[in-house]
């Protein structure tokens, strides 16, 4: 691992070891099935979820305490957790070669390597001392500096084998990465269009409300004009009312939007990523839309003459 991490374009790396000859049983009575169809067991590093950029659906990942305290901890892939009928927060043990391991977490779905969804993960210490394997890491997951993926893939075999005869192969999941990037771009574009549509509808709504308000308050406008209020004061009043609606709507919309994102993400098991720095920009846009929407009703109110307001009233 140290050789891999020494490559200048590598930003993070995590190794796993395939632990063979282990029978994983969710319950004692399922031995025949799982002996015929064994569950892959992986000894994994502490940093694997971070390198894969995959969240935990439930519980936690393996950490240094599990190794230092010699804990018999296991993390399930999302697929095998579903197969075992694991419930979130459940106190559950599974048997690995007759030894009980406590389930401490469930890893989310791994798009870059779907095989991990149906695996169970233990610490390197447990693999060596409890499951009796001396195998070295045989698979390394790497994150590289953007734009250096191919160069990193070319450098890794030399870094691992040091020019020796060991065969080291690399694989770049480009199709998966491109599909994920395209899905993210599409989702962002849809969200942006939805936000712009909401601003447009909100602006039209403010303009309609303010126009109706001008008609309903025509008598008030006439009285104020008759006692000497200028057109600019009348216009400023309605413009400020429109501005208040925009400020209030922008703040409430931002708070409600963040709450909905957290609620949906919690229900779906997603990781919440919100650019809070952009929220003032959207609130500012809401204010601008409200001012623009309130211009016409404000000008219309300012142009009303006292005699005309008597007719409208």
pLDDT band per the 50, 70, 90 thresholds, residue 176: low
- How many CA atoms does the CB half-sphere of 100 hold within 13 Å? 6
How confident is the model over 41-47, as a mean pLDDT? 91
Of 124, 149, 172, which marks where a domain is finished?
172
- Shared domain for 12 and 155, answered yes or no, is yes
Cα angle for residues 177, 178, 184 (degrees, 5° grid): 90
pLDDT tens for 279-312 read: 888 888 888 888 888 888 888 877 777 666 555 5
- Shared domain for 198 and 128, answered yes or no, is no
Give the count of beta carbons closer than 10 Å to the beta carbon of residue 4.
Answer: 18
- Shared domain for 207 and 74, answered yes or no, is no
Of 150, 172, 194, which marks where a domain is finished?
172
How confident is the model over 41-67, as a mean pLDDT? 91
Q: Average the pLDDT over each of 40-49, 156-165, 210-219 and give the range with the smallest value.
A: 156-165
Q: Three-state DSSP class for 100?
A: strand
- Shared domain for 123 and 190, answered yes or no, is no
- Shared domain for 168 and 215, answered yes or no, is no
C-alpha closest to that of 120 among 95, 154, 149, 144: 95
pTM of the predicted model as reported, rounded to 2 decimal places: 0.56
- Shared domain for 164 and 274, answered yes or no, is no
Containing domain of residue 291, as a range?
177-312
How confident is the model over 232-240, as a mean pLDDT? 85
Helices (H), the chain: 2-5, 31-36, 48-52, 64-68, 78-84, 124-129, 149-161, 174-216, 218-226, 231-268, 279-303, 306-312
- Shared domain for 70 and 209, answered yes or no, is no
Cα angle for residues 139, 144, 150 (degrees, 5° grid): 85
Of 172, 206, 222, which marks where a domain is finished?
172
Please indicate whether residue 152 or residue 52 has the higher confidence score (pLDDT): 52
DSSP 275: -
pLDDT for the residue 79: 92
pLDDT for the residue 234: 84
Number of folded domains that form the chain: 2
pLDDT for the residue 59: 93
DSSP 30: G
- Shared domain for 103 and 195, answered yes or no, is no
- Shared domain for 161 and 233, answered yes or no, is no
- Shared domain for 15 and 136, answered yes or no, is yes
pLDDT band per the 50, 70, 90 thresholds, residue 72: very high
């Amino acid at each position: 691992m140290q050789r891999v991490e020494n490559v200048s374009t590598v930003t993070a790396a995590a190794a796993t070891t395939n632990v063979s000859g282990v029978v994983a049983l969710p319950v004692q009575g399922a031995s025949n099935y799982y002996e015929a169809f064994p569950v892959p067991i992986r000894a994994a590093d502490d940093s694997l979820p971070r390198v894969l950029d995959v969240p935990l659906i439930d519980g936690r990942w393996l950490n240094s305490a599990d190794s230092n305290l010699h804990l018999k901890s296991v993390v399930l892939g999302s697929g095998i957790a579903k197969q075992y009928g694991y419930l979130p927060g459940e106190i559950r043990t599974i048997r690995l070669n007759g030894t009980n391991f406590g389930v401490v977490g469930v890893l989310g779905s791994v798009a870059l390597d779907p095989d991990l969804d149906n695996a169970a993960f233990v610490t390197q210490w447990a693999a060596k001392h409890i499951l009796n394997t001396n195998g070295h890491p045989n698979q390394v997951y790497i994150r590289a500096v953007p734009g250096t993926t191919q160069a990193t893939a070319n450098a890794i075999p030399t870094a691992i084998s040091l020019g020796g005869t060991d065969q080291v192969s690399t694989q770049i999941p480009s199709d998966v990465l491109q599909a994920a990037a395209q899905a993210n771009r599409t989702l962002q574009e849809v969200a942006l269009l939805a936000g712009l549509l909401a601003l447009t509808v909100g602006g039209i709504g403010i303009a309609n409300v303010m126009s109706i308000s001008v008609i309903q308050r025509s008598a008030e406008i006439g009285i104020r004009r008759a006692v000497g209020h200028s057109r600019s004061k009348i216009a400023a009043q309605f413009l400020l009312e429109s501005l208040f609606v925009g400020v209030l709507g922008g703040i409430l919309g931002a708070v409600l939007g963040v709450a909905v994102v957290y609620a949906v993400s919690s229900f779906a098991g997603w990781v919440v990523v919100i650019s809070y720095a952009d929220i003032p920009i959207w609130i500012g846009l809401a204010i601008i839309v409200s001012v623009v929407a309130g211009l016409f009703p404000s000008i219309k109110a300012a142009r009303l003459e006292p005699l005309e307001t008597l007719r409208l009233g």
